[in-house]
Amino acid sequence: MSKKILLVSRHAPYGSSTAREAIDVALAAAIYDQDIGILFMDDGVFQLLKDHQGKYINQKNIDSMLSALALYGIEKIYVHQESLDNRTITTNELILDDLQLLNSIDVGHLLSQQDQLLSF
């Protein structure tokens, strides 16, 4: 039976491997037909900015990898609105246009509805 799993990704890309690890877990779990969602919050929202050029620091582009989520059947992608606002990021600066924007109360509800939380 598939579990309802939410990955909570709260860290900026590249500075540590945390962001990348969340994506790897998402793609791997999707292969096993699990019910996966991803929430981007705090510095995690920086992962969603367009036009990364990771080659300058010998890294793969996180934004490119995130664009593949839909092909892996991961369609529930949530973003914490306040985290965007605090960083003066607007939604038209983001990759992926089917993001669901959530306020803090919505995030609380989302967390409480899961079978498993994975914190990154």
Partner 1 sequence: MSTLHTINKSPYAHNALSSCLKVCAMNDGILLLEDGVFGALISAPGAQELQILIKHGANVFALVNDIKARGLEEKVAPDIKLIDYNTFVQLTLDHRCVQSWY
Partner 2 sequence: MFKVGIDMLLHNPERDIALDKDGYLINLSDWNKEVADALAIQENILLTIAHWEIINLLQEFYREFEISPAMRALVKYAEKKLGPEKGKSIYLLQLFPPSPAKIASKIAGLPRPTNCL
List interacting residues with partner 1 (CB under 8 A).
8, 10, 41-42, 80, 82, 104-105, 107-109, 111-112, 114-117, 119
Task: Write phi, then psi, for 100 (nearest 5 degrees).
Answer: -105, 120
In sequence order, the 6+-apart residues with CB closer than 8 A to the CB of 18 are 9, 11, 120
Contact predicate 39/83, CB 8 Å: no
Q: How many residues interact with partner 2 (rule CB under 8 A)?
A: 14
57 binds partner 2 (CB under 8 A): no
Site string for partner 2, 10-49 (x = CB under 8 A): --------------x--xx-xx------------------
68 binds partner 2 (CB under 8 A): yes
76 touches 38 (CB < 8 A)? yes
